[in-house]
C-alpha cells in the first residue's frame, strides 16, 4: 500500500477476465499477481464473438491490432430458421464507420494468448487453486489448496461462474441451469456458403445451430439442444449431431462432417440471476464470477474486458480507501451487466421453445422486430458503450500514479451516456484487411495448430 492506496492486487483466475484485469492494472502501475488453478495457463477449444465494445476495450489495452491480424471482422449477423429462411440480417460491418472498430470472431486461444503475452510485469502462478480468503483493515490474504497463502491490498475474484472467491463472499449457491446444452466444435474448412465475416444463427425446435469463421480456413460452430444437465457424450457424438441436424439447411451437415470428433466439446449452459452484491471490504468480483451472461448475446467475455478497464480506473482514482473504490466499480458495472444477464436469459428461453405454435410466434416476432428494435437495442445498449474508451488508448504505460492531493485526476468521469452516432477520432485509423495467410498470431496461439 502507498499512502493507503492499493498497490498489490491479487487476481484469482487466469481466464480472459483475470488476465485482462491484470493487464489493465499493470498498465496503470499496480502490481497484480494472477493465481490460476490449472497447471497450464490456457483457454482453448472454442470461438467467441467479440462485439465492437469488447474490441474497443482491447484497443484501449493496445491489443486490438494484434487480435485483428487473425480475427475476421464481421460484416453480417444472419438469423434464420433451420430450414434456411432468413429472419433478420444485422449489418454489423457498419460499426467500423460508427465506432472505429469492427465486431470480430476469434478463437478463444488467440484472445487469451494475446492477453497473456501482453503481461510483462505480472507473475502468473499456475497450479494455485484459491480456496478462501480473509481480510483485515490493512490488507487481504488469499489461501490456496496446498496450504499456502499470499497477502495483498485487494483481491479480485475472476475465477469464473463456480468461483471460490464468490463463494467466500456470497455463500455457495449453485448456478442456474438454463435447460440447454451446448456442443461446440471447429471445422477446418472453407465453404462457398460460409462467406468471411458472417455470423449465422439458425433456430429450430428446441435446437439451435450457430457458425462463423474464426480464422481463414477454420469455422467455429455450436449446436444447442434442450436436455437434462450433467450428461456425458459417448463416442459417436458427431453422428448424433449429424442425426439431430439431418434436415437442416446447408451448410450445417458439411460443417459437422468436416469436424474431427475430438474437437467437439459439450457443456451445460449455466447462468445466474444478477446479484445485488459483488464484494466486501477489499474483495471484489469480475467477469463470470460476478455476472455470468449466457452466450445468447455474445457479451460475457466482452463484459469481462470492460470490467477490467473500469476496475483499473476506479482503483487508479482511489485516494486512500480501496474498499470504497471497489464499491464504486461494482455499482457502475452492476448497472451495466444486470440487464444483459436478463436479456440473454430471455433470448435463451425464446431459442429453446419446442412447441410448433410457439415457434411460429418466435419467427413472426423475429421477422418483425429483429432487424429494427433488437438491432437498435444491441447497438445502443451494448456496443455504443465502448466509445468511452475510443479516445483514450491506455497502451503506452505505465501511467505515473498520481499522488492523492498534488495531482489532478488523470481520468475524467466516464460519459455515462455515450452517443451512438458520435464519430470517434479512431475511425481515421485505417482498418487492416486480414490476410488470407495465417497470421503470426494465429500460428502462435491457435488451438487448431
Ligand atoms: C457456449 C458459450 C459461448 C460463449 N460465447 C461467447 C461469445 O461469443 N462472446 C462473448 O463475449 N462471450 C461468450 N461466452 C462467455 C465467455 O466465455 C465468458 O463470459 C468468459 O470466458 C468469462 O471469462 P472469465 O475470465 O470471467 O471466466 P472463466 O473463463 O471461467 O475463467 C476463470 C478462470 O479461473 C480459473 N479458476 C477457477 N476456479 C479457480 C480457483 N479456485 N482458483 C484459481 N483459479 C480458478 C479457471 O481455471 C479459469 O482459468 C460464451 C460462453 C459459453 C459457455
Which H or E run includes 416?
none
Question: Which triple of cell numbers denotes residue 155?
Answer: 483481491
CA of 382 to the centre of ligand 1 (A): 19
Chain mean pLDDT for the chain: 88
Check if 160 has its Cβ closer than 6 Å to any atom of ligand 1.
yes
**Residue 96, pLDDT above cutoff 60:** yes
Check if 219 has its Cβ closer than 6 Å to any atom of ligand 1.
no
What integer pLDDT is reported at residue 424 of this predicted model?
A: 33
**Residue 57, pLDDT above cutoff 70:** yes
CA of 175 to the centre of ligand 1 (A): 14
d(CA 381, CA 371): 15
Tell me which of 267-271, 351-355, 418-422 is least confident. 418-422
Mean of pLDDT values over 314-327: 94
Q: Which atom of ligand 1 is nearest to the CA of 159?
A: 34
| Of 386, 200, 204, nearest in space to 305 by CA | 386
CA of 287 to the centre of ligand 1 (A): 7
- For residue 16, give every residue at least 6 positions away whose Cβ sits within 8 Å of its Cβ, in sequence order, or none: 43, 108, 111, 112, 115, 287, 301, 304, 305
Check if 298 has its Cβ closer than 6 Å to any atom of ligand 1.
yes
**Residue 59, pLDDT above cutoff 90:** yes
CB atoms within 10 A of CB 111: 29
CA of 372 to the centre of ligand 1 (A): 31
**Confidence band, pLDDT 50/70/90 cuts, at residue 344:** very high
**φ, ψ for residue 397, nearest 5 deg:** -100, 180
Angle between helices 300-317 and 322-351 (to 10 degrees): 170
What integer pLDDT is reported at residue 389 of this predicted model?
A: 82
Secondary structure (3-state) at 118: helix
d(CA 103, CA 96): 8
pTM score of the predicted model: 0.90
Which H or E run includes 174?
none
**φ, ψ for residue 2, nearest 5 deg:** -120, 120
Query: Are 11 and 33 spatial neighbours (Cβ–Cβ below 8 Å)?
Result: yes
Check if 55 has its Cβ closer than 6 Å to any atom of ligand 1.
no
What integer pLDDT is reported at residue 363 of this predicted model?
A: 97
Mean of pLDDT values over 380-389: 90
**Residue 251, pLDDT above cutoff 50:** yes
Percent of the chain with pLDDT strictly greater than 70:
86
**Residue 415, pLDDT above cutoff 70:** no
Tell me which of 39-43, 259-263, 445-449 is least confident. 445-449
What integer pLDDT is reported at residue 161 of this predicted model?
A: 97
| Of 165, 176, 152, 172, nearest in space to 37 by CA | 165
What is the radius of gyration, based on Cα positions, of the chain? Answer: 22
> At CA 49, angle to CA 285 and CA 71, rounded to 5?
115
Which H or E run includes 308?
helix 300-317
Question: Which triple of cell numbers denotes residue 439?
Answer: 497470421
d(CA 240, CA 236): 6
Check if 330 has its Cβ closer than 6 Å to any atom of ligand 1.
no
**φ, ψ for residue 273, nearest 5 deg:** -75, 150
Mean of pLDDT values over 367-374: 97
Q: Ligand 1: which residue has its CA nearest to atom 3?
A: 295
- Bridge partners of 157, per DSSP, are 12, 285
Mean of pLDDT values over 360-374: 97
**Confidence band, pLDDT 50/70/90 cuts, at residue 366:** very high
C-alpha separations of 310 from 304, 384, 401 in Å: 10, 16, 16
**Confidence band, pLDDT 50/70/90 cuts, at residue 443:** low
Check if 20 has its Cβ closer than 6 Å to any atom of ligand 1.
no
What integer pLDDT is reported at residue 114 of this predicted model?
A: 96
User: Using omega within 30 degrees of 0 as the cis cutoff, is the peptide bond preceding 398 cis?
Assistant: yes
Q: Dihedral sign, CA of 187, 113, 96, 418?
A: positive
| 359 burial type by CB count under 10 A (0-12 exposed, 13-18 middle, 19+ buried) | middle
Question: Which triple of cell numbers denotes residue 223?
Answer: 449446436
Check if 14 has its Cβ closer than 6 Å to any atom of ligand 1.
yes
pLDDT digits (tens, 9 = 90+) for 116-173: 999 999 999 999 999 999 999 999 999 999 999 999 999 999 999 999 999 999 999 9
Q: Which atom of ligand 1 is nearest to the CA of 20?
A: 25
Check if 17 has its Cβ closer than 6 Å to any atom of ligand 1.
yes
What integer pLDDT is reported at residue 387 of this predicted model?
A: 87
Check if 16 has its Cβ closer than 6 Å to any atom of ligand 1.
yes
**Residue 423, pLDDT above cutoff 50:** no
- Bridge partners of 430, per DSSP, are none
**Confidence band, pLDDT 50/70/90 cuts, at residue 430:** very low
Q: Ligand 1: which residue has its CA nearest to atom 35?
A: 13
d(CA 136, CA 191): 59
Give the distance from CA 60 to its chain's centroid. Answer: 16
pLDDT digits (tens, 9 = 90+) for 190-243: 999 999 999 999 999 999 999 999 998 999 999 999 999 999 998 999 999 999
Q: Ligand 1: which residue has its CA nearest to atom 26?
A: 287
Check if 168 has its Cβ closer than 6 Å to any atom of ligand 1.
no
Amino acid at each position: 500500500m502507498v499512502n493507503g492506496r492499493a498497490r498489490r492486487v491479487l487476481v484469482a483466475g487466469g481466464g480472459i477476465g483475470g488476465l485482462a484485469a491484470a493487464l489493465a492494472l499493470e498498465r496503470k502501475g499496480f502490481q497484480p499477481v494472477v493465481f490460476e488453478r490449472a497447471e497450464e495457463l490456457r483457454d482453448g477449444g472454442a470461438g467467441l464473438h467479440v462485439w465492437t465494445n469488447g474490441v474497443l476495450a482491447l484497443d484501449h489495452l493496445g491489443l486490438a491490432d494484434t487480435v485483428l491480424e487473425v480475427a475476421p471482422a464481421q460484416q453480417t449477423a444472419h438469423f434464420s430458421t433451420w430450414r434456411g429462411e432468413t429472419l433478420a440480417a444485422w449489418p454489423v460491418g457498419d460499426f467500423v464507420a460508427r465506432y472505429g472498430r469492427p465486431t470480430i470472431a476469434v478463437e478463444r486461444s488467440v484472445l487469451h494468448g494475446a492477453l497473456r503475452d501482453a503481461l510483462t510485469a505480472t507473475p502468473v502462478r499456475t497450479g494455485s487453486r484459491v480456496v478462501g480468503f480473509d481480510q483485515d483493515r490493512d490488507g487481504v490474504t488469499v489461501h490456496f489448496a496446498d496450504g499456502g497463502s499470499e497477502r495483498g491490498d485487494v483481491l479480485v475474484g475472476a475465477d469464473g461462474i463456480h468461483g471460490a472467491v464468490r463463494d467466500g463472499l456470497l455463500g455457495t449457491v449453485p448456478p442456474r441451469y438454463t435447460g440447454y446444452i451446448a456442443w461446440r466444435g471447429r471445422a477446418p474448412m472453407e465453404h462457398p456458403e460460409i462467406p468471411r465475416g458472417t455470423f449465422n444463427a439458425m433456430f429450430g425446435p428446441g435446437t439451435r445451430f450457430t457458425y462463423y469463421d474464426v480464422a481463414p480456413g477454420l469455422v467455429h460452430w455450436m449446436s444447442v439442444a434442450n436436455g437434462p444437465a450433467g450428461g456425458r457424450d459417448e463416442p459417436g457424438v458427431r453422428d448424433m449431431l449429424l442425426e439431430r441436424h439431418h434436415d437442416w439447411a446447408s451448410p450445417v451437415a458439411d460443417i459437422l462432417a468436416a469436424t474431427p470428433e475430438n474437437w467437439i466439446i459439450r457443456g451445460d449452459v449455466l447462468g445466474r440471476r444478477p446479484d445485488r452484491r459483488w464484494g466486501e471490504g477489499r474483495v471484489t468480483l469480475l467477469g463470470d464470477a460476478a455476472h455470468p451472461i449466457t452466450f445468447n448475446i455474445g457479451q460475457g467475455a466482452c463484459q469481462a474486458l470492460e470490467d477490467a478497464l473500469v476496475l483499473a480506473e476506479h482503483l487508479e482514482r482511489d485516494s486512500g480507501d480501496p474498499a470504497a473504490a471497489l464499491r464504486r466499480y461494482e455499482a457502475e458495472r452492476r448497472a451495466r451487466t444486470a440487464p444483459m444477464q436478463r436479456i440473454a436469459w430471455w433470448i435463451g428461453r425464446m431459442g429453446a421453445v419446442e412447441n410448433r405454435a410457439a415457434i411460429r410466434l418466435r419467427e413472426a416476432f423475429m421477422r418483425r422486430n429483429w432487424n429494427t428494435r433488437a438491432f437498435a437495442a444491441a447497438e445502443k445498449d451494448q456496443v455504443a458503450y465502448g466509445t468511452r474508451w475510443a479516445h483514450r488508448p491506455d497502451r503506452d504505460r505505465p501511467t505515473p500514479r498520481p499522488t492523492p492531493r498534488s495531482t489532478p485526476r488523470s481520468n475524467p468521469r466516464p460519459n455515462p451516456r455515450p452517443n451512438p452516432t458520435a464519430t470517434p477520432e479512431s475511425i481515421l485509423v485505417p482498418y487492416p484487411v486480414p490476410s488470407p495467410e495465417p497470421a503470426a498470431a494465429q500460428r502462435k496461439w491457435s488451438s487448431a495448430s
